[in-house]
Amino acid sequence: MSIMPKRLFLMVLADILFIILSLIISFFVLDGTLSSALKYWWVFPLILAIRIGTFRNFKVYHWIWQYASVNELLSLIEAVALSSILTATALLVFGIILFPFRVLFIDALLCFALIGGMRLAIRYWKETHSLFSLTGDEKKVLIIGAGDAGEMIAREMLKLPQLGYNPIGFIDDDLTKKGEYIHSLPILGVAESMPSIIKENAIEEVIIAIPSATGKEIRRFVELCEKSEVTFRIVPGVFELIDGSVHVSQIRNVQIEDLLGREPVSVDLKEIAGYLADAVILVTGAGGSIGAEICRQVTMFQPKELILFGRGENSIFNIELELRKQYPFLEMKVMIGDIRDNSKVNYIFDKYHPTVVFHAAAHKHVALMEANPDEAILNNILGTKNLINAADHYGVKIFVNISTDKAVNPTSIMGASKRIIEMLLQAKAHAGNATKFVSVRFGNVLDSRGSVVPIFKQQILAGGPVTVTHPEVKRYFMTIPEAVQLVIQAGAMGCGGEIFILDMGEPVKIIDLAKDLIKLSGLEVGEDIEIKIIGLRPGEKLFEEILTPAEGTSATKHKKIFVAKPAASSYDKLSEEIATLLNLAEKRQLDQIKSKIMHLASSL
């Protein structure tokens, strides 16, 4: 007999015995003798058949009681109560009205107590058996955070000693928790007492188990761990957790995103679902960092259809594969093409009639666009104009353009092209259209293809040096999921013509970012890895801005999203200026392009 049938057989046999025992005891409690039990002996097979059948219907025998929770106990209560009601109903249907029905009430209580108690005993035995099966070779672990995440991590470590962890206790800055216990593990003190606690208990690893911790808080924990010369890791942040549960397998090394993280973003799920649910959604640049994340997040709102549009076949293939695996029933189309190809753009809009467009396709590398300004014009401006015209013609409801802080007072070709796009969208919206055209402006996103972080990581792996353009250069940073959540929220808020600006927090010195990455790699700045200052590249600024002086901002109902004051522009006049730019780009008159685009962007 295989393991599963044997376990199932023993469980059903135990239930039969407990059902019979509870019924016998119930009769005895009712009249103090077993005479009633003998009189109504035929009830025993009836209630046995109904209870076992009900348990089977409630899938009681499919549960793994080692991991039983309140939900399983509530389901067991429902199964016992329903089987008792069915038994009473059967007796009444057969006309047996003289049966002592109070027995069924007593029996239900006893049956739940016996059967539920047995299952809880199984769980208790498994947990204590695991606890006492530690070999002594497990790594001694200290958990920072005596909240839900810390409790989940500790529980899993205690249940599964084969994972190789021996949790010693918790650290928590809530002073009222000190001296209390979670799963028999003490809360030893606050973060500042970590060095002494680590030394006294010979701690080998520290787990930071606070998914909502800010970057400042995580940096403090990391510094204390480094001071104690102990290994440290972290549980996923709130953006990475899908269902709110945390598992040991998810614990990872601390990343730069953790140190720069800020308070969690809250979004109005009902408002977002209102325009994404059952919509046909087109994402341009769907294989890029931002485009792919938009695809991941919009699929959670059950769109009618998702269209992935991009020209990089490998990146598009990767996100398609990921989405098809995670959402096998999602209606999805993949279109390889270039937004500069007006015929292909119109073909897609005519064939699929998207109702929502997220436009993430763009050339974004500042230095490359300085060297190739014609490509910035043809891809960023012409491509976007093709999409705008198609969206207007085919009745798209919402068009969300991904912009950048480099569009503010642009000093680069890339930034200037993005500024012109913003104004083109505003002008189109003010011309009076059914489509709501909006732009969302934000700064750098960590680990995107254009971010400095992957470059620094490669340089560290190569042994250095890490190259920084200037010791005072600063940039705004967001995580990719955070930026996309706010982009999607902004799409729900737009009336047409807005430039939404995301709260980027405080700017970060790039040299500090480099130092943090070196330390997180377990290396020392200056000793293991050198930092080399190489000077600003063409088009780069020391500081990025998020507003022009004339714009100002107005608050929205979301505390992390602001809206710039609209600027008046004529769509036809702007189109004429753009036509001149396109003509220069097609003729590859690079010097004239630079002069023209910078003049046009600064005049808007």
Residues carrying an active site annotation: 406
Q: In angstroms, rounded to a whole number, what is the distance separating the alpha carbons of residues 149 and 153?
A: 6
Q: In angstroms, rounded to a whole number, what is the distance separating the alpha carbons of residues 297 and 486?
A: 11
CA distances from residue 127 to 4, 163, 197, 345, 529 in whole angstroms, order as listed: 21, 14, 26, 60, 47
Strand extents, DSSP E, 411-545: 436-442, 444-445, 466-468, 474-475, 477-478, 499-502, 508-509, 531-533
Is residue 465 reached through a cis peptide bond, with omega within 30 degrees of 0 on the bond before it?
yes
88: burial class by Cβ within 10 Å (0-12, 13-18, 19+)?
middle
Q: In angstroms, rounded to a whole number, what is the distance separating the alpha carbons of residues 379 and 417?
A: 9
Sign of CA dihedral 195, 199, 205, 209: negative
Token digits of residue 584: 């220069």
Please count the residues of the chain.
604
Largest Cα–Cα distance of the chain, in whole Å?
108
Q: In angstroms, rounded to a whole number, what is the distance separating the alpha carbons of residues 84 and 76?
A: 12
| Strands laid side by side in the 185-189 sheet | 181-182, 185-189, 165-171, 139-144, 205-208, 231-234
Q: In angstroms, rounded to a whole number, what is the distance separating the alpha carbons of residues 67 and 589?
A: 70
Question: Do residues 79 and 54 touch, judged by C-beta distance below 8 A?
Answer: yes
Place of tokens 């055209």: 437
Q: Which residues of 211-247 are buried (b: 16+ CB within 10 A; e: fewer)?
A: bebbbebbbebbebbeebebebebbbbbbeeeeeebe
Token digits of residue 601: 């962007």
- Within 8 A by CB and 6+ apart from 97, the residues are 91
Place of tokens 């440290």: 232
Q: In angstroms, rounded to a whole number, what is the distance separating the alpha carbons of residues 153 and 312?
A: 40
Helix pair 70-93, 102-131: axis angle to 10 deg: 160
Q: How far is CA 598 from the centre of its chain?
A: 39
Token digits of residue 518: 């070196």
The three-state secondary structure class of 475 is strand
